């Protein structure tokens, strides 16, 4: 599980459009925090699912509580585990499949909402362990009439010391 390859940091280029330079987080040379975040990403096994270079293995994980039939047409793509996020949209909605596909982390830094239901709005919030508590107030989608609720599941990276979590987020912002 833990045998992960470290990929060399891509050289980043600064693009200039007319006279204005666009310097987004993904276009800088990695600083030391981003570099150590890459090490945390490897050590924590993130690449087993978010596999470079696309930062996804393109597999389907099970919505919590879902057991696919043995003859499911997509069985070759199914990983028999759940990351434990809220299964509501995959199981209770009309178009629900029972699966959550491993999302690519390419460009994750500019996506505004995270998790399949957009419960959290920043990467810092996605990796904030406080979101597991029932009194948590999500910054993104809460549900109708709901003030506080946990944003459960995907507990990867939640138990890291703060400096490592910061480094991990800094690295993710370079993808
Ligand atoms: C077992 C597979 C697996 C592992 C290991 C894993 N993830 Fe994920 N990751 C997923 C799945 C599945 C989702 C989508 C969950 C959902 O939306 O309900 C996800 C979602 C995410 C998201 C939100 C992306 C978005 O667009 O909403 C981020 C960021 C992320 N993972 C980063 C990481 C990092 C960093 C690690 C390691 C500390 C990690 N993941 C480990 C499977 C995994």
Q: Kindly state whether residue 77 falls inside one of the protein's structural domains.
A: yes
Residues 51 and 41: beta-carbon distance below 8 Å: no
Q: Kindly state whether residue 70 falls inside one of the protein's structural domains.
A: yes
Mean pLDDT (whole number) for 117-142:
94
Copy the structure tokens of residue 141. 């989608």
Confidence of residue 30 (pLDDT cuts 50, 70, 90): low
Q: Kindly state whether residue 20 falls inside one of the protein's structural domains.
A: no
Q: Kindly state whether residue 88 falls inside one of the protein's structural domains.
A: yes
Query: Could you give the number of structural domains in the chain?
Result: 1
Comparing 13-17, 45-49, 142-146, 162-166, the range with the smallest average pLDDT is 13-17
Residue with the smallest CA separation from ligand 1 atom 3 is 49
| Helix and strand numbers, DSSP H then E, in the chain | 4, 5
Q: Kindly state whether residue 138 falls inside one of the protein's structural domains.
A: no
Residues 78 and 60: beta-carbon distance below 8 Å: yes
Interval between CA 43 and ligand 1 midpoint (Å) = 15
Q: What is the pLDDT of residues 48-80, one digit of tens each?
A: 999 999 999 999 998 888 888 888 888 888 988
Asked if the model's pLDDT at residue 23 lies above 70, the reply is no
* Containing structural domain, residue 71: 59-101
Q: Kindly state whether residue 83 falls inside one of the protein's structural domains.
A: yes
């Amino acid at each position: 599980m833990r045998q992960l390859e470290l990929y060399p940091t891509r050289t980043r280029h600064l693009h200039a459009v007319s006279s204005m330079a666009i310097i987004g987080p993904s276009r800088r040379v990695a600083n030391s925090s981003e570099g150590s975040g890459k090490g945390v990403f490897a050590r924590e096994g993130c690449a087993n699912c978010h596999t470079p270079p696309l930062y996804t293995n393109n597999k389907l994980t099970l919505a919590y509580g879902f057991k696919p039939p043995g003859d499911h047409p997509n069985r070759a793509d199914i990983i028999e585990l759940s990351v434990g996020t809220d299964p509501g949209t995959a199981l209770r909605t009309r178009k629900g499949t029972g699966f959550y596909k491993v999302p690519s982390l390419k460009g994750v830094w500019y996506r505004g909402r995270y998790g399949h239901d957009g419960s959290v709005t920043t990467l810092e919030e996605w990796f904030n362990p406080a979101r597991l508590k029932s009194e948590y107030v999500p910054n993104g989608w809460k549900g109708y009439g709901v003030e506080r609720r946990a944003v459960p599941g995907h507990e990867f990276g939640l138990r890291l010391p703060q400096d490592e979590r910061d480094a991990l987020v800094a690295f993710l912002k370079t993808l």
